[in-house]
Structure 1
């Protein structure tokens, strides 16, 4: 049986990837990050190894031992945890020593290059999960009114600039005012901060960085995103069509309908 590696982070994407790969007749060899990956993933794969953040060579050895030639990165890694709890091994030190900056895409590409030099090609998880990428158009909830459409357009524009700087993917807007930009805190805390500043009716925009490498760090939203929006009264979620992962889409759309949240996907 052909094998594929899974470098697992947090959330549901590692589960979706593992199940789809198995349905295609692949044997999934997973490496999971302590403090990030759900331990229940072990039941979904053929082999399962725990590592700490920064243990790059341990991942390489696990894949080489299992004769894995291809692997995908699926699921997020909390940026704060990456800053405070990493245990860099010699492989990580070698990667870091060659970098001129520590921006997300630069670091992830360098890690992928290191794996490939060790005989493991990094592929995009969405090569196996095209069905979870968002279609274009109005997806759930009320139709947008003109003021919300203007806020979405502003959020898309600002998110593109934020992405060019390789800082984050999420922008919160209301009535033509930018309330919050995502940095190290992540999407949920960005939504909370923006909602507290702008009150009810905030518009949340999440999009890919321009020129994003689709092998890693694709934007993802799910029912949890809607729950955080409900906490602060945010009423619109706009994502990038074709490049945003919809986690548990039926539950996401049902939550949007129940809470009166508009979900749209724009080019």
Structure 2
């Protein structure tokens, strides 16, 4: 049986990947980041090794020991934690020393290159999770009205610029005004900040960065996103179709219908 590596961060995505890989006849050898990955992941994989953020060579050793030739990164790493809790080993220092930019994409590509130099190819988790990608069109909740459609267009334009700068993926808009841009705080806090300034009825737009490497940092939303939107009265969640991962999609759709939140996949 072929073994596939999993470099796990937070959220549901590592669990979805592990389940999909098993269903396709693969054994999953996981490396999980302390403080980010859920400990219950251990029950879903054949082997699990815990590492601290920045222990690149420890990951390489774990995969070599486990007979892994291909691996996927799944799940997020909190940016604040990345700034405060990283414990870079010699491998991480070698990667950092070659970087001209510390932006997310440049760093992740450099990490992937390092793994590949040690015989481990980094692949896109969506190669096993195509069914979890957001489809195009109206998905749940009320239909968009004209004002909301305009806010979605504005949000996508601003999110494109935000992505070009490699800053974040989420924009909060209301009645033609940009209320919040995602940065180091993450999607949930950006939504809360937008709701604070714009009141109820905000439109949340999430999309890939232009030229996004699909192996890394794909946008993902789940029921938790809806809970945060309900806190502030946000009414629309517009996602890039084909490039956004839906975590627990059936529950997400039911929750949107129940809360009266419009969920739409935008081409």
**1:208-227 to 2 correspondence within 5 Å?**
208-227=208-227
1:6-44 CA distances to partner (integer Å, 9 max, x unpaired)?
A: 000001110011011111111100000000000000000
1:46-76 CA distances to partner (integer Å, 9 max, x unpaired)?
A: 0000000010000000001112100000000
1:114-156 CA distances to partner (integer Å, 9 max, x unpaired)?
A: 0000100000000000000000000000000000000000000
Whole-Å separation in 1 of the counterparts to 2:186 and 2:88: 22
Whole-Å separation in 1 of the counterparts to 2:47 and 2:188: 32
Moved over 4 A (4+): none
Whole-Å separation in 2 of the counterparts to 1:46 and 1:256: 35
Unaligned ranges ≥5, structure 1: none
Equivalence for 2:119: 119
Equivalence for 2:197: 197
Whole-Å separation in 2 of the counterparts to 1:141 and 1:22: 33
**1:157-172 to 2 correspondence within 5 Å?**
157-172=157-172
Equivalence for 2:251: 251
**1:84-95 to 2 correspondence within 5 Å?**
84-95=84-95
Whole-Å separation in 1 of the counterparts to 2:156 and 2:132: 21
**1:65-84 to 2 correspondence within 5 Å?**
65-84=65-84
Whole-Å separation in 2 of the counterparts to 1:23 and 1:45: 12
Unaligned ranges ≥5, structure 2: none
1:135-182 CA distances to partner (integer Å, 9 max, x unpaired)?
A: 000000000000000000000000000000000000000000000000
Whole-Å separation in 2 of the counterparts to 1:192 and 1:140: 22
Following superposition, the deviation at residue 258 of structure 1 comes to 0.9
Whole-Å separation in 2 of the counterparts to 1:178 and 1:141: 23
TM-score calculated relative to the size of structure 2? 0.99
1:62 aligned counterpart, secondary structure: helix
Following superposition, the deviation at residue 92 of structure 1 comes to 0.5
TM-score calculated relative to the size of structure 1? 0.99
Equivalence for 1:57: 57
Following superposition, the deviation at residue 101 of structure 1 comes to 1.2
Equivalence for 1:237: 237
Instruction: Determine whether 1:109 maps to 2:98.
Output: no
How many residues align structurally? Answer: 267
Whole-Å separation in 2 of the counterparts to 1:140 and 1:25: 33
The CA RMSD measured in Å over matched residues stands at: 0.5
**1:126-205 to 2 correspondence within 5 Å?**
126-205=126-205
